[in-house]
Every structure is written in C-alpha cells, then in structure tokens.
C-alpha cells in the first residue's frame, strides 16, 4: 500500500496541534490542544462506565472538541455524582488556563476503579503539564508517556496518506493499554488527530471500522475496562477534505486502519507481563464473525498463552480453542500452521495431523514456539472470511503485576 507512509514524530507531524504530558508518581496528565476540531469516539461496551466516559459522551454531542484532558493513576469509575463533579473541576481548570470553552473539552481517565479522584494532586500535575504544551516530537512522547499505567513503553504512530485525488494528509495517534480486550481493562486509551477535514459523523464511521479490526482484536486477559476510549479529532489544518459527498476517502480509511492496527499491535506486545507476541490469522471462515471469534479465542486461551510462555508446542490447545469459540468448524478439513519470522510449518493439513511425536514438523514447531513472535495460521476451509487477532503469552509477571496492583 504505497499510498500510506510511516512518518516519525508522533503528534508533532500535525499542524496546529499542541500536546504535553507530565507525571507525579503514579499520577500522569496528558493535554491535547487542537482548536475547533470535529471529533468522535468509540467507548467501552461495559455497562459500568467511568465518569469521564459519561462526561465525554455528553460533550461529544456537539461534535466539536478543542482540548482533551487525560489522567492516569485513577479511573474515576464507580465514583457516583462526585465523579462527574470531579470531571467538571478538571475541565474548568483547563478551560480557564487555556481559554477554551468548557463544552469543547473532553476528559479521559485510567487507573484504579472505585476510588474518588485525588483532584488536588491531579490539578497540580495538570498545571505542570499545561505549562509544557508544545508541538515538537518530544512533546508527543511526553504525552504518550503520561497516560501509561502498567505499560512498559509509550505507544505512538504517525502516517502520511495520499488521498484518492493525490492530495496528502496526516494522521497521528498515541495509545496506552496493556491488560485488555475489545477494548479493555487496565484500560485502553487512544487519541488520534488528523490534519484533514472530516465531519464528526464520518470520523465516527471511520473510527468504528478501524477499531473493529485493530483495538477490538487485541486480547491480553479478556477483561473489558470501564474506561476504554478511542477519541479522534480532525483539525483541518491541512485544508484538505478526506471525504467526498459524505463518503470517506478510501485511502484515508486504509491509513486510519493501518495506524490503529499499529497502535493495537503495540498494546499486545506490551501486554502485562508479556515476553512474547502472538498473532492469530484465521481464514476460510463461514462468516466475518466466525473468523473474528475463532482468532480471538486462540489469543484468549489461558492454556495456549501459558504454552507459548513455556515454548511448549501444545497445538492441541489451538484446536480446542477454535472448537469452543462458537465458530462453525469441521475438524476433518481444518489446516493449522505455526510460523515465526524464519519458518512456517503446517501441523495439521485438511484435518490430517502432520506433527506427530518425533516428526520434523513437531521439532520445527518447537523451535518456532521459542521465538519472540509466534504466528498461528488457521484455514477453516469452509468459507471466504478472514480475521487477525493479536495477543501475548501468559506469564508469572502477569500474575505478579495484577496481584499487587492497588497495594
């Protein structure tokens, strides 16, 4: 896809955008200032929803956002009316300090659930963060760092896309997340800005498509967060439309998909305690949903994830995971292969096992299972649908990180 080009610099590649991030212990604050941008977002489907999600959904009704306030360290979830009041206090702080109307400020939080937001501490960090707003690559990196919780590295991506008409626009984003699905717990947050013109209704449409094949295909532990948010702004700084006649430019959509997948893969790679990255590709499914649930089932299996950690070529667990996924399946025609960057070996071909004990198939599989990146390729051989999911191994450190989270 030569119309999509990776570029470096994160948010700094977008004109008319200032960002910052700062941190005091476990409390971080990221500020994104993008005046008068059209905006839309996708949120968690959890029925328990954090105060900032409720608050931001309301702000987004107008479809215009000029700033985003994000804090890490406290999810401001299950905090009742106080939670909404605390959102208002922080929005007011940003509004006053940056002279931005309150109803154009979105807010997002990640961290522990069921503790009231320490507004005083977070306000202090917020002032420090605001004082550092800038449009350089280092500002983008600081923004990506300040939203981290159990993340071990910041997550940024930026692309330049050549639209169908030959004009060029940019999309940049940051994300955090390491214990999550669909999107999920430990909270997945992602903030994306493009310099293209795109009305909020089309942002919403484009974002749903992109999230569905990226963030929603990452599984770390199967828990789904109360705070997950992917919020996208189009500030129009390029003066270029990324749509014609209410249709999103198809190259733009591809580029957005690509950017979201890049961020999603970084999340899977940074899964809590992960030592290995797993990719599951399913093709030949009878329906799109079948392909998705089969791919996610492999990535979600605690048994298979443990086997990957141990480098154990226990491929029976792959078969079992597809079997209980709910996807239509005939075990007698399925093909299962395992690959890494160097090798690609079939274990089962059209239902016939190749990887018996003491075969070269199994020995090659054993070697692949030692790799840092393990790829599972399944052909269900029933239809034309395919999907990819990403995840990581289940390790001692996952348990350790989550056994000691609030203490």
Using CA atoms, how far apart are residues 319 and 174, in angstroms rounded to an integer? 35
Q: Do 78 and 48 touch, CB atoms closer than 8 A? A: yes
Q: Please give the full DSSP string across 160-214, using - where no structure is assigned.
A: EEE-TTS-EEEEEEEEE-SS-BSS-TTT-EEEEEESSB--HHHHHHHHHHHHHTT
Query: Is 224 one of the binding residues for its own copies (CB under 8 A)?
Result: yes
Query: Is 190 one of the binding residues for its own copies (CB under 8 A)?
Result: no
Instruction: Please work out the total of residues on this chain that contact its own copies, with binding judged by CB under 8 A.
Output: 71
Nearer to its own copies, 209 or 401 (CB): 401
| Phi and psi torsions of 58, nearest 5° | -65, -45
Contacting residue, 9, 35, 222, 383, with its own copies by CB under 8 A:
222
Contact track, its own copies, 148-187, x by CB under 8 A: -------------------------------x-----xx-
Query: Is 360 one of the binding residues for its own copies (CB under 8 A)?
Result: no
Query: Is 106 one of the binding residues for its own copies (CB under 8 A)?
Result: no
Specify burial of residue 180 (Cβ count, 10 A radius: 0-12, 13-18, 19+): buried
Distance between first and last Cα of the chain: 47
Q: Interface with its own copies by CB under 8 A: which range of 5-13, 18-26, 109-117, 119-127?
A: 109-117
Query: Is 112 one of the binding residues for its own copies (CB under 8 A)?
Result: yes
Query: Is 365 one of the binding residues for its own copies (CB under 8 A)?
Result: no
Query: Is 289 one of the binding residues for its own copies (CB under 8 A)?
Result: no
Q: Which of residues 293-352 bind its own copies (CB under 8 A)?
A: 300-303, 306-307, 309-317, 319-324, 327-329, 331-332, 348, 351-352
Q: Which residues are annotated as a binding site?
A: 149, 176, 187, 272, 402, 407
Q: Which of residues 240-259 bind its own copies (CB under 8 A)?
A: none
Q: Which of residues 19-38 bind its own copies (CB under 8 A)?
A: none
Q: Which residues are annotated as a binding site for substrate?
A: 149, 176, 187, 272, 402, 407
- The helix (run of H) or strand (run of E) holding residue 335 is strand 335-339
Using CA atoms, how far apart are residues 274 and 254, in angstroms rounded to an integer? 29
Nearer to its own copies, 1 or 303 (CB): 303
Query: Is 108 one of the binding residues for its own copies (CB under 8 A)?
Result: no
Q: CB neighbours of 392 closer than 8 A, spacing ≥ 6? A: 220, 268, 269, 271, 274, 275, 276, 277, 278, 305
Q: Do 362 and 343 touch, CB atoms closer than 8 A? A: no
Contacting residue, 16, 35, 48, 333, with its own copies by CB under 8 A:
48
Contacting residue, 114, 138, 165, 372, with its own copies by CB under 8 A:
114
Q: Which of residues 378-407 bind its own copies (CB under 8 A)?
A: 394-396, 398-407
| Phi and psi torsions of 96, nearest 5° | -65, -45
| Phi and psi torsions of 347, nearest 5° | -105, -35
Contacting residue, 78, 160, 254, 340, with its own copies by CB under 8 A:
78
Query: Is 68 one of the binding residues for its own copies (CB under 8 A)?
Result: no
Helix (H, G, I), strand (E, B) or coil at 322: helix
Nearest 10 degrees: CA dihedral of 125, 128, 132, 137? -30
Active site residues: 187
């Amino acid at each position: 896809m030569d119309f999509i080009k990776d570029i470096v610099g994160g948010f700094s590649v977008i004109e008319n955008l200032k960002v910052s991030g700062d941190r005091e212990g476990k409390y971080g604050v990221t500020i994104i200032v993008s005046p008068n941008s059209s905006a839309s977002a996708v949120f968690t489907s959890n029925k328990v929803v954090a105060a900032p999600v409720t608050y931001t959904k309301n702000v987004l009704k107008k479809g215009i956002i000029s700033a985003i306030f994000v804090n890490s360290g406290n999810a401001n979830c299950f905090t009742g009316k106080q939670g909404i009041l605390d959102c208002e206090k922080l929005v007011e702080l940003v509004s006053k300090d940056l002279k931005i109307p309150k109803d154009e400020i979105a807010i997002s939080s990640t961290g522990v659930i069921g503790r009231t937001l320490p507004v005083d501490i977070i306000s202090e960090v917020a002032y420090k963060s605001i004082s550092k707003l800038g449009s350089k690559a280092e500002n983008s990196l600081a923004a990506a760092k300040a939203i981290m919780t159990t993340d071990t590295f910041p997550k940024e991506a930026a692309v330049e896309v050549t639209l169908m008409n030959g004009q060029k626009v940019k999309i940049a984003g940051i994300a955090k997340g390491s214990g999550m699905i669909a999107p999920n717990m430990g909270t997945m947050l992602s903030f994306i800005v493009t310099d293209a013109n795109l009305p909020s209704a089309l942002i919403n449409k484009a974002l749903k498509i992109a999230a569905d094949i990226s963030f929603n295909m990452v599984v770390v532990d199967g828990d789904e967060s109360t705070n997950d948010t992917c919020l996208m702004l189009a500030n129009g700084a390029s003066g270029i439309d990324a749509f014609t006649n209410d249709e999103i430019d198809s190259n733009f959509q591809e580029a957005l998909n690509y950017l979201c997948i890049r961020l999603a893969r970084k999340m899977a790679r940074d899964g809590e305690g992960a030592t290995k990255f797993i990719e599951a590709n399913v093709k030949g499914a009878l329906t799109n949903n079948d392909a998705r649930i089969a791919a996610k089932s492999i990535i979600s299996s605690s048994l298979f994830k443990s086997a990957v950690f141990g480098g154990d070529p226990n491929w029976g667990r792959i078969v079992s995971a597809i079997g209980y996924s709910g996807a239509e399946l005939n075990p007698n025609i399925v093909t299962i292969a395992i690959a890494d960057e160097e090798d690609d070996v079939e274990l089962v071909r059209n239902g016939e096992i190749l990887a018996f004990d003491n075969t070269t198939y199994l020995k090659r599989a054993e070697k692949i299972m030692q790799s840092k990146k393990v790829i599972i390729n399944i052909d269900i051989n029933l239809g034309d649908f395919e999907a990819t999911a990403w995840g990581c191994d289940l390790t001692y450190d996952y348990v350790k990180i989550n056994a000691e989270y609030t203490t």
